[in-house]
């Protein structure tokens, strides 16, 4: 659930994560998960993933 707030929600409420290195690392780990990729492909196949 936290992944939504840090990724997809940033399309609606942009937020710069560049100063949050641990959050960026966390998003990187989420992005490597096959389940996350499948869910995003199923939910919105054309959406670019905001993982950084």
Domain boundaries, the chain: 2-43
- Count CB atoms within 10 A of the CB of residue 30: 17
Q: Give the pair of three-digit tokens for residue 39.
A: 């869910």
Rg value, the chain, Cα: 11
Distance CA 44, CA 24 (A): 22
Q: How much is the pLDDT for 36? A: 86
Mean pLDDT over each residue of the chain, to the nearest integer: 86
* Of 38, 22, 34, 28, nearest in space to 7 by CA: 28
pLDDT of the residue at 43: 83
Is pTM beyond 0.75 here? no
pLDDT, position 26: 92
Q: What is the largest CA-CA distance in the chain?
A: 31
Select the more confidently predicted residue: 26 or 5: 26
Instruction: Write out the H or E segment, with its range, that includes residue 37.
Output: helix 34-43
């Amino acid at each position: 659930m936290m992944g939504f707030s840090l990724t997809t929600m940033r399309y609606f409420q942009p937020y710069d994560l560049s100063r949050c290195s641990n959050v960026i690392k966390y998003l990187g780990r989420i992005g490597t998960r096959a389940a996350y990729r499948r869910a995003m492909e199923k939910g919105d196949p054309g959406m670019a993933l905001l993982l950084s």
